[in-house]
Amino acid sequence: MYKTTVKIDGMMCSMCETHIKETIRKTFPSAKKVTASSKKKEATFITDDVIDLSILGDSIERTGYQYLDSETIPYDKKSVFDFWHHR
């Protein structure tokens, strides 16, 4: 699994956050745990495979927001069992 963090300019409110989340879900239907924050100027989501960041940037720009940067890193899903196992 992979976690992608996207830096976005132009989000001003919760409706902007909703637009970004919808855009990500439409562009990458397999995206999970999609979040967006106008305060942090970023969105994050999880995918099973590495995504094409140029497609992500184009879809955000078409929505009317400015795509600044993005990063995809490996993501290890943590569970309650992992917490107790490592204690």
Over residues 9-31, the pLDDT tens digits come to: 999 999 999 999 999 999 999 99
What domain count does the chain have? 1
* Domain range enclosing 73: 2-85
Q: If you search the block for the tokens 């992979």, which residue do you land on? A: 2
Q: The domain that contains 39 carries what CATH number?
A: 3.30.70.100
pTM attached to this predicted model? 0.84
Beta bridge partners of 70: 6
Dihedral angle computed from the Cα positions of residues 71, 26, 48 and 5, in that order, rounded to the nearest 10 degrees: 20
CA dihedral 8, 31, 28, 44 (to 10 degrees): 10
Averaged pLDDT, groups of 10, the chain, 87 residues long: 96 96 96 97 96 95 96 80 49
Instruction: Determine the Cα–Cα distance for residues 54 and 64; give it in Å rounded to an integer.
Output: 16
